[in-house]
Amino acid sequence: MILFDRVSKIYASQTRPALDAVSLEIEKGEFIFLVGPSGSGKSTFLRLVLREERPTSGQVWVAGKELSKLSNWKIPGLRRQIGTVFQDFRLLPNKTVAENVAFALEVIGKPKSHIKRVVPEVLEVVGLEGKELRRPDELSGGEQQRVAIARAFVNRPMILIADEPTGNLDPGTSADIMKLLDRINQLGTTVVMSTHDSNIVDQMRRRVIELDGGHLVRDQSRGVYGYAQ
């Protein structure tokens, strides 16, 4: 599903690589934790998958396509197969919950009838039924993140990318969000999630990929957050 082949990324303003010859493969349906200290290259890794950045060298393959060979106009098609969730939710403050989710469908030109049908469905999946007409500032952080997840999942993407999705949430709420991501994973979506939250990683016992200074330092199935075991 995702294949990195000796991928290095050096940002234009930087001399030290943000990612240094990283090779790894992620299979369809996997649940991946991406861990590592701040600045280790986790977000860079995720941006490369989205083709928000291009590798300086090496190849990134997503869903059978090598991204550097993907012409510009095909990038939207790639992104429609990938859902994204961020620490800061990225909701539109002047739209309701339902409108925020519908927005993602409107802008890719889905017909109204389709939107009317799938938005309530996905809001039920994420547990927001009854809150369709609230605005983001009328929701808790956890609820806002559920809206973001609903938006990311409404197209039933093959891959869900989550960059520190629980970074702004308290432990209890984080656990709920993790249950939701786990459920989405069980519905068949490959989930790649970066996190600093050791409790979550230790509890879930999924594959852990650790980066440090741009190097891949650990790739462990059913791993834990730190080395201390």
Ligand X SMILES: Nc1ncnc2c1ncn2[C@@H]1O[C@H](COP(=O)(O)OP(=O)(O)OP(=O)(O)O)[C@@H](O)[C@H]1O
Site string (39-58) toward another protein, x via CB under 8 A: -----------x--------
> Is residue 40 a contact residue for ligand X (CB under 6 A)?
yes
- How many positions of this chain bind ligand X (CB under 6 A)? 12
Q: Which of 22, 26, 42, 154 binds ligand X (CB under 6 A)?
A: 42
Q: Whose Cβ is closer to another protein: residue 21's or residue 50's?
A: 50
| Total residues found in the chain within this entry | 229
* Interacting partner of 41 out of ligand X, another protein, Mg ion, none (Cβ under 5 to 8 A depending on kind): ligand X
The binding site for ligand X (CB under 6 A) comprises: 11, 13-14, 18, 36, 38-44
The binding site for another protein (CB under 8 A) comprises: 50, 72-73, 75-82, 84, 90, 92, 103-104, 106-109, 111-112, 151, 155
